[in-house]
Structure 1
Amino acid sequence: MRIGGLLLGAAVLLGGCGAARDLKPAPGEQLPVAPRGATATPTAGQLTQPTTQQRPERSDDLIYRSEQRRTDGFDLPPSE
């Protein structure tokens, strides 16, 4: 049973080691048409880059120096 788990784990790890190649459309297929207003059709690399909506920047308010935190009106003790 233990060897089976090890083999399964090795298969999962090796399955993620695929070769990274340039993406190309399937044979007989084309890239999507250019978006409205665009001057050129985006390449496969441009289409696979996540936008800021898909991967937003970190927007946490980090505290760089010691300062009092604002009071939070929703930070209430649990009701009994």
Structure 2
Amino acid sequence: MRFGILALALVLAGCGAARDLQPRKGVPLPPAPRGADETLTPSQLLTPTTQQRPQRSDELLTQSDERRSDEFDLPPD
């Protein structure tokens, strides 16, 4: 039981090794997108676009305004 937990911990710790990603030798990069002049580099392929990671643009506390009085908001008869 303990050996299994230790082995699992070591395997998960090995997953965190970070190295620069490089394409395998002899394997070409994906083709260039339509309209692009050249094939993208690995770092360009890994950088998310604004469509993939949009910035939050709604800040309710700074854009809130005081409501006008509604003349037609009358109590029922």
Smaller-chain TM-score bracket: 0.5 to 0.7
Runs of 5+ unmatched residues, structure 1? 70-80
Cα RMSD after superposing both structures: 3.0
Partner of 2:39: 41
Quick one: which amino acid aligns to residue 17 of structure 1? G
Partner of 1:53: 51
Runs of 5+ unmatched residues, structure 2? 68-77
Query: How many pairs are equivalent?
Result: 66
TM-score, with length taken from structure 1: 0.56
TM-score, with length taken from structure 2: 0.58
* Structure having the higher Rg: 2
**Hey, what's the Cα distance between the residues in 2 that align with 1:24 and 1:38?**
21
**Hey, what's the Cα distance between the residues in 1 that align with 2:36 and 2:54?**
23
Which has more helix, going by share of residues?
2
Question: What is the deviation of 1:6?
Answer: 6.6
